[in-house]
Chains A and B, each alone.
Chain A
């Protein structure tokens, strides 16, 4: 792309939406040069702050005409580099100023603009006795647009799934500036092929999601938190599989291994019990039924070799929740370098995955605390290393790749919720190859070319 194309594009955008929305000072650009992946540092050549759908339309119209790359960004919390440029001379489209939220209880939805955070959406719903179930750990800052583009999940995924399970309708602007409205904010609609899933998880490579109508759920009447402690991590895996096999679907079904528990205790000072592994299960339901299910879940854990306790005391429950929620923070405090994995395996293979990960950790001699939303087979091994030590950096990289390959071998996926971005491109292609997905690549490439013939949308992500 010629520098003159960029310059002409910026002049046209400034003229159409106002120069104050277009930033080109190097200090503004460098501030946007990183996201939570922290390893892909490329400043954009300009930042456009979108305050309205029209601002987005103008950017995609002009950028398409001038063939200038556009990187959509919510609040830049991608863990795989999806929200920073992978190529030079890009325009970064900052959607965080578009943050309107409207709750419609009667019709059972919340409408949110792309820049509203997941937590803001949830909090608005809670004012009316409802909530928005997907809860990525970054929900307090992660935006709805970003969470949809990444198809994010979270702790409550065990029961409520991921973002795509909660979308009724969306508006998307595609290159050229056309708006596509997909679906209606009703619980049933027929519109021919469902294009919602085409854009959800597409990581900004097909268009820009500007707003979405999302389903909401009544707040549970009662929640009881069950804690299971295990002297072998495989047994914790077994307990999780067993709970699900027996037909129980806890709202949260989380796993923490010994290294994670130790770090949480040391770094955050939380007084949580120590064991080889811990399973946290949140059982929700009507008051009269919840304790019966708690009993069954405890039984499943105990028969898998665990010791259990259960509590509905808000303070005790909070302590455990904070321990799990703060696990990644604790690991990052304890180690200057952390590669965060995000694999998913079939629940029946959870025990094998945990055993193999333990072998890997011993083979390389690096610490690798593991926690995750094991209830849906999603594990987050944290490969810890010293970034100043080249040998450790090499080992960590190898472990990262081997962990991904393990997921593929076990019939799982290299990413459960963090996406592919830049960081997982190679592993992603391996996964596609392993499941003989050449046809998939061809089809999606054709769709990409159809929607984005000039290849302006978030180039360098996925395989584009």
Chain B
């Protein structure tokens, strides 16, 4: 990558995504291990279960994140990221990294296995692409490498079409978002339908009139992942599914549904781990105060942040994927009630996405200037912004401050792209700012486009 403003860790993550498909560079061999013998190879009636590039390697990521905490104060993430390519060259990356990260947590792979079990039990016919599953490349989008993402997405589309894929069921809400929103925007002729796991499961449970029995009594709460609730508007399905599991006492956290709080991920866990951890603690306190014994969620990154956060704070509360709860109940006992035709509300709380004419610097600048000029600096976004709150309302790492900085960057004020990018990378992309913006700015997407502009401007800084 020839871009000069991109920090080492993002460069490492992007190169790994390009070369082997996942940000850690672990590769397809390990990514498909969880699925051996579970599903037929290739689409079934055009449908595939899509594991994506996060769930299968999240156990490793959790190890890496825990390591970063131990190294805090001695080494920052970008210094550590420099070791990655060297280790790769020496052929010791996988074994070396594993040794450094410690034991791999298999809870994430279990979530995938449980999701497949649930879908199969509900009679969903689907296959899996195994090593041929093309990684969504959503990390490229997250980090603002939009030209690379566009190129990558085009290849993914061709590959999926070639294999006859017409329908995707994804467990990861970030890739579900990518296929629902970003692919149609970046890939011409994208017609593949995509669903998040809970959308399919809720519909089937309702239509088949199922009532599940867990066989034990548990007090649980649920952390809505921002991509699932706020970005694609899937909220009611989760409550419906939980209501159909006997034995579960459900406690709603104060911020839930489209108003969910952030658990500190959205890419920040990779670029600025200490800040990510700080943000997660606030959410953890909120979830703990519900009095629940177990926390469920539906996002590998949220799960990782909550798991490590609960551990760091010495709270003995387990965090699991919702798929595992459903599977546990289905393995125990299934009862029948009246079938129903479900109509779940699709929430739409975010403003219209910004659309540059192209990804050229000129078009990016034109769109960013026009949109960030609209910002009235009312600061309502900052009230909700997790990073602003974690940093005592530090303006330059707040939602409003980022709008000001993007405007300064594209207007040619003497700010340095690399430093602006660092502040834009401090955002978790939770979207609370976009939801509240009185002017109707899609703040987090402007931040992604702002990242792209800072990256492609080709400069790390401006002469003083």
A97 and B393 alpha carbons, distance in the complex (Å): 7
Instruction: Check A132 for interface membership: any CB of B closer than 8 A.
Output: no
Count residues of B near A (Cβ-Cβ below 8 Å): 32
Please, which residues of chain B bring their CB within 8 A of the CB of A441?
A: none
Q: Could you list 13 further interchain pairs (A-B, Cβ under 8 angstroms) beyond the known A38-B375, A49-B392, A77-B377?
A: A25-B396, A27-B419, A27-B420, A28-B396, A30-B408, A31-B404, A37-B377, A77-B379, A96-B393, A141-B378, A332-B439, A333-B439, A336-B373
A77 pairs with B378, CB closer than 8 A: yes
| 3 residue pairs, one from A and one from B, having the closest CB atoms | A329-B438, A31-B396, A31-B401
Please, which residues of chain B bring their CB within 8 A of the CB of A99?
A: 392
Instruction: Check A90 for interface membership: any CB of B closer than 8 A.
Output: no
Instruction: Check A230 for interface membership: any CB of B closer than 8 A.
Output: no
Given known A-B contacts A28-B396, A76-B395, A38 and B383 have beta carbons under 8 A apart: no
- Which A residues from 360 to 405 make CB contacts under 8 A with B? 387
B382 pairs with A33, CB closer than 8 A: no
Instruction: Check B192 for interface membership: any CB of A closer than 8 A.
Output: no
B408 pairs with A138, CB closer than 8 A: no
B438 pairs with A33, CB closer than 8 A: no
Instruction: Check B440 for interface membership: any CB of A closer than 8 A.
Output: yes
Q: Interface code B372-397, partner A: CB below 8 Å = 1, 0 otherwise? A: 01111111101100000000111110
Please, which residues of chain A bring their CB within 8 A of the CB of B380?
A: 140-141
CB distance from A334 to the nearest CB of B (A): 10
B438 pairs with A25, CB closer than 8 A: no
Instruction: Check A326 for interface membership: any CB of B closer than 8 A.
Output: yes
A333 and B376 alpha carbons, distance in the complex (Å): 10
A33 pairs with B408, CB closer than 8 A: yes
A26 and B378 alpha carbons, distance in the complex (Å): 22
Instruction: Check B212 for interface membership: any CB of A closer than 8 A.
Output: no
A440 and B395 alpha carbons, distance in the complex (Å): 37
Q: Interface code B406-439, partner A: CB below 8 Å = 1, 0 otherwise? A: 0010000111100110110000000000000011
Instruction: Check B405 for interface membership: any CB of A closer than 8 A.
Output: yes
Given known A-B contacts A27-B420, A76-B377, A96 and B392 have beta carbons under 8 A apart: yes
Given known A-B contacts A38-B376, A75-B393, A141 and B423 have beta carbons under 8 A apart: no
B416 pairs with A27, CB closer than 8 A: yes
A326 pairs with B438, CB closer than 8 A: yes
- Which A residues from 1 to 52 make CB contacts under 8 A with B? 23, 25-28, 30-38, 43, 47, 49, 51
Please, which residues of chain B bring their CB within 8 A of the CB of A417?
A: none
A350 and B373 alpha carbons, distance in the complex (Å): 35
Scoring B392, B393, B439 by chain A CB atoms within 10 A of each residue's CB, the highest score goes to: B393
Q: Interface code A135-157, partner B: CB below 8 Å = 1, 0 otherwise? A: 00010110000000000000000
For residue B418, which residue of chain A has the nearest CB? A27
A49 pairs with B394, CB closer than 8 A: yes
CB distance from B392 to the nearest CB of A (A): 4
Please, which residues of chain B bring their CB within 8 A of the CB of A53?
A: none
Please, which residues of chain B bring their CB within 8 A of the CB of A96?
A: 392-393
Instruction: Check A94 for interface membership: any CB of B closer than 8 A.
Output: yes
B382 pairs with A75, CB closer than 8 A: yes
Given known A-B contacts A27-B420, A31-B401, A94 and B395 have beta carbons under 8 A apart: yes
5 A-B pairs within 8 Å (CB atoms) are namely A27-B420, A30-B396, A36-B378, A38-B375, A333-B439
CB distance from B46 to the nearest CB of A (A): 38
**Secondary structure at chain A's binding surface: helix, strand, loop or mixed?**
loop
Count residues of A near B (Cβ-Cβ below 8 Å): 37
- Which B residues from 49 to 104 make CB contacts under 8 A with A? none
For residue A92, which residue of chain B has the nearest CB? B395
A26 and B439 alpha carbons, distance in the complex (Å): 27
Given known A-B contacts A329-B438, A329-B439, A27 and B396 have beta carbons under 8 A apart: yes
- Which B residues from 296 to 337 make CB contacts under 8 A with A? none
B404 pairs with A34, CB closer than 8 A: yes
A332 and B377 alpha carbons, distance in the complex (Å): 11
A266 and B374 alpha carbons, distance in the complex (Å): 18
CB distance from A82 to the nearest CB of B (A): 13
Please, which residues of chain A bring their CB within 8 A of the CB of B440?
A: 333
Q: Give B residues with C-beta under 8 Å from A.
A: 373-380, 382-383, 392-396, 398, 401-402, 404-405, 408, 413-416, 419-420, 422-423, 438-440
A31 pairs with B374, CB closer than 8 A: no
A97 and B395 alpha carbons, distance in the complex (Å): 11
A37 and B378 alpha carbons, distance in the complex (Å): 9
Please, which residues of chain B bring their CB within 8 A of the CB of A115?
A: 393
CB distance from B418 to the nearest CB of A (A): 9
CB distance from B102 to the nearest CB of A (A): 32
Please, which residues of chain B bring their CB within 8 A of the CB of A23?
A: 396
CB distance from B449 to the nearest CB of A (A): 18
Residue of A30, A49, A75, A141 touching B413 (CB-CB under 8 A): A30
Please, which residues of chain A bring their CB within 8 A of the CB of B415?
A: 26-27, 30
CB distance from A150 to the nearest CB of B (A): 15
Please, which residues of chain B bring their CB within 8 A of the CB of A47?
A: 395
CB distance from B350 to the nearest CB of A (A): 15
Please, which residues of chain A bring their CB within 8 A of the CB of B382?
A: 75, 141
A20 and B188 alpha carbons, distance in the complex (Å): 48
A96 and B379 alpha carbons, distance in the complex (Å): 13
CB distance from A271 to the nearest CB of B (A): 18
CB distance from A369 to the nearest CB of B (A): 15
Please, which residues of chain A bring their CB within 8 A of the CB of B419?
A: 25-27
CB distance from A90 to the nearest CB of B (A): 15
A75 and B398 alpha carbons, distance in the complex (Å): 11
A387 and B370 alpha carbons, distance in the complex (Å): 11
CB distance from A196 to the nearest CB of B (A): 27
CB distance from B159 to the nearest CB of A (A): 40
A141 pairs with B383, CB closer than 8 A: yes
B405 pairs with A27, CB closer than 8 A: yes
B420 pairs with A332, CB closer than 8 A: no
Please, which residues of chain B bring their CB within 8 A of the CB of A30?
A: 396, 404-405, 408, 413, 415
Residue of B374, B402, B423 touching A336 (CB-CB under 8 A): B374
A117 and B392 alpha carbons, distance in the complex (Å): 12
A34 pairs with B416, CB closer than 8 A: no
CB distance from B250 to the nearest CB of A (A): 26
Please, which residues of chain A bring their CB within 8 A of the CB of B423?
A: 27, 31
For residue B413, which residue of chain A has the nearest CB? A30
Please, which residues of chain A bring their CB within 8 A of the CB of B376?
A: 36, 38, 332
A212 and B273 alpha carbons, distance in the complex (Å): 37
A138 and B383 alpha carbons, distance in the complex (Å): 11
Residue of A31, A141, A332 touching B405 (CB-CB under 8 A): A31
For residue B376, which residue of chain A has the nearest CB? A332
A47 and B413 alpha carbons, distance in the complex (Å): 18
Scoring A31, A328, A336 by chain B CB atoms within 10 A of each residue's CB, the highest score goes to: A31
A34 and B415 alpha carbons, distance in the complex (Å): 15
CB distance from A389 to the nearest CB of B (A): 14
A115 and B414 alpha carbons, distance in the complex (Å): 29
Please, which residues of chain B bring their CB within 8 A of the CB of A37?
A: 377
For residue B423, which residue of chain A has the nearest CB? A27
A77 and B377 alpha carbons, distance in the complex (Å): 7
Given known A-B contacts A34-B404, A35-B377, A329-B439, A140 and B396 have beta carbons under 8 A apart: no
CB distance from B272 to the nearest CB of A (A): 15
Please, which residues of chain A bring their CB within 8 A of the CB of B377?
A: 34-38, 76-77
Please, which residues of chain A bring their CB within 8 A of the CB of B416?
A: 26-27
A76 and B396 alpha carbons, distance in the complex (Å): 13
CB distance from B368 to the nearest CB of A (A): 15
A121 and B423 alpha carbons, distance in the complex (Å): 30
Q: Interface code A326-347, partner B: CB below 8 Å = 1, 0 otherwise? A: 1011001100100000000000
A326 and B380 alpha carbons, distance in the complex (Å): 12
Scoring A47, A75, A77, A387 by chain B CB atoms within 10 A of each residue's CB, the highest score goes to: A75
